[in-house]
Amino acid sequence: MADIMNVYQPLQTPQQNPLQVLQMLGALNQAKLFNQEYQARQAIGNAYRANTGDNGELNTPGLRSQIGQTGGFLAGEGLSQATANSSADAALKSTYQQILRQTFGQLATKPVITDEDISIAKADAARQGVPGSFIQDYAATIPMGGTRKGQAATKDWAVTQSNLARGPEAIATPTTIPGPHAEPIAIPAGTASRIMSNGGLQTGMPPGFTEAQVQTGAGSGVALNEARQRGLNYRQEVYPLEQAIPALEKLGKTGTGPGTEEFNQVKSFLQSAGIPGLDADKIKNFDEAKKYLTDFVNQNGNTGTNDKLAAAFAGNPSVGVSNAAAVDVAKSALALRRMKQAQLIEFEKSGLPDNEYTKWASQWNIGHDPRAFGFDLMTPEQRKKVIESLPEGKNGKPGPRDLFKLQVMAAHNAGIIKPPGQ
């Protein structure tokens, strides 16, 4: 008989080693710990990704906030690392800034800071390890130097950078600079930098200048002052001539001579034209007025270019200033007056000191064609002849013809001539 006890034998659990249970529990805990750590690290990684901009810049407050909220039990470590990274980043940026201040601060010693100087400084900074985008952001703070005021602002900026690079203690240290009579004057080093970058103390004529420099500088100053004075009255000066020219052109077709109105208009121009010794009230007739107008052309241009100018307006290469019709002399005078005005405008933009005006102006004259300033006064046929008389560039490089067109465009953009075709 079966042992009833064997049939209804109760279920037996398998024999378990307590150590194995512990090991299994340990493994479960390990897996749980691994998951928690994995998720925490992933959350920190996500926080970095979400708070890093396209330019690599880190949004540190956003990063810290996200790590704190999602970093789990690694939040503490994550925040600590974020702080360390942020500090290192700040230190690096501070180093970059110091390099840039030292590099660009050296520009303060230059009499004029050009775009070329700034480009060279950018390359210098790049060689010292400053990233290009950082250099660009820094250089964006440089004032525009296109005008005299802008150039002064740029110099001032460079001095500030130099002082910042040296630090507050260095710039407060007393130093001496030469005074107007070469005596030493004690002032803080930072102030000294600013004064010396602007040419030193300007209380009188600096000692050591040669007579020639003084005379050149003084001559430039007089010429520039005169040009500025006339520049103020430019529109009033040229207006009568602008009125006389179309009237004279019309007279040429009708065959009758210039009348009172044309005579008065030319006389009015001559009155303000600055011809030495001329008393315009004493001009008796139009022929005399034309003679003085011719004198004006001869005084304000060069012989070769003046004849080319008159020939361009006459449409005849044989015509020179001396035998040109009145209307063509008037056009030549107007073109030359406009050219002088353009010259003044460009000098004012150059940022150069006043004592360089004469030298700059003579070079500018060589590079500019007076016919560009009378282009709108020519007929289409005359314009075509002028353009075709100029050689074209070769191999894709600009030639005299391209440069002439550029001068016409520039004169138009400055409001000195009307656009061709009008």
Enumerate binding residues for another protein (CB under 8 A): 115-116, 118-120, 122-133, 135-136, 139, 144, 393, 396-398, 402, 405-406, 409-410, 413
Question: Measured from the CB of residue 403, what is the shortest distance to another protein in angstroms?
Answer: 9
- Which parts of 51-131 fold into alpha helices (H)? 60-70, 75-105, 115-127
Report the C-alpha gap between 45 and 39 in whole angstroms: 10
Report the C-alpha gap between 341 and 276 in whole angstroms: 19
E-assigned strand segments in 232-367 = none
- 72 backbone φψ class: left, alpha, beta (φ>0; ψ -120 to 50): left
Return the ∠ at Cα 132 (arms to 84 and 190), rounded to 5°: 80
Question: Measured from the CB of residue 166, what is the shortest distance to another protein in angstroms?
Answer: 24
Q: For the chain, what is the total number of helices (H) and then of strands (E)?
A: 18, 2
Report the C-alpha gap between 342 and 231 in whole angstroms: 10
CB-nearer residue toward another protein: 137 or 287: 137
Q: Which position has the token pair 């064997």?
A: 6
- Which parts of 113-186 fold into alpha helices (H)? 115-127, 132-139, 148-166, 168-172
Q: How far is CA 160 from the centre of its chain?
A: 19
Report the C-alpha gap between 10 and 177 in whole angstroms: 111
Selection from 421, 311, 301 nearest residue 368 by Cα: 301
Q: Which position has the token pair 């030639």?
A: 399
| Cβ-defined contacts of 411-419 (< 8 Å, 24+) | 411/338, 411/342, 411/372, 411/373, 411/375, 414/342, 414/345, 416/338, 416/341, 416/342, 416/373, 417/338, 417/372, 417/373, 417/374, 417/375, 417/376, 418/376, 419/376
CB 121 within 8 A of CB 131: no
- 421 backbone φψ class: left, alpha, beta (φ>0; ψ -120 to 50): left
Question: Measured from the CB of residue 410, what is the shortest distance to another protein in angstroms?
Answer: 5
Question: Measured from the CB of residue 352, what is the shortest distance to another protein in angstroms?
Answer: 16
Q: How far is CA 257 from the centre of its chain?
A: 51
Report the C-alpha gap between 351 and 153 in whole angstroms: 11
Question: Measured from the CB of residue 161, what is the shortest distance to another protein in angstroms?
Answer: 18
CB-nearer residue toward another protein: 247 or 409: 409
Q: Is 174 helix (H, G, I), strand (E, B) or coil?
A: strand
Burial of 324 (0-12, 13-18, 19+ CB in 10 A): buried
Question: Measured from the CB of residue 223, what is the shortest distance to another protein in angstroms?
Answer: 24
